[in-house]
Amino acid sequence: MHIRVVPPNPAWKSDFETEGKRITQALGEIVVVLHHIGSTSIPGIYAKPIIDFLLEVDDIARLDDKQPVMEQLGYEGLGEFGIPGRRYFRKNNAAGVRTHQVHAFQAGSPEIERHLAFRDYMIAHPAAAQNYSALKQKLAEAHPYDIEAYMDGKDPFIKEHQAKAVAWYRDKQT
């Protein structure tokens, strides 16, 4: 897999909205809310051109029953895929290039807060977002075919800022 980090694209928001409507219509009443997360949700930063969804559902078991519906939309279901309580789905285009990822959790999961906190923190702190953008560009250039090295390179930055983001997010909520 070639790791491509590209300049910000205003089409990412409309892609989220269009694909999000397909997902929410297909899954129906089990959807609590669908969020745009990941780097494509943060204005002005470089990102891998993959739209990330954070899907909150009323009952994760009901989502499991709807896996065939997600498959009809072109998504491959991979179960928890390393995060307990999550359901992960990925979608590739006709050329086999990843275009969308769905990270689904039952409403109330603590995993939801950390994703939303990181996104909102980066939006509210443009200098941190630009540092993240520069780091991702550097890592993609240094490791264009090594996703593990790319992810490992981002990990310290994400952990540091995620801790700040969650504290900031909780403070903002009160």
Alpha-carbon distance of 139 to 155, in angstroms, equals: 11
Query: Which domains does the chain possess?
Result: 11-173 (3.30.460.10)
**Which pLDDT belongs to residue 153?**
98
pLDDT in tens, 30-62: 999 999 999 999 999 999 999 999 999 999 999
Residue 1 pLDDT greater than 90, yes or no: no
pLDDT in tens, 107-161: 999 999 999 999 999 999 999 999 999 999 999 999 999 999 999 999 999 999 9
**Which pLDDT belongs to residue 173?**
87
Run of H or E residues at 91: strand 87-92
Helices (H) and strands (E) in the chain, counts: 6, 5
pTM of the model: 0.94
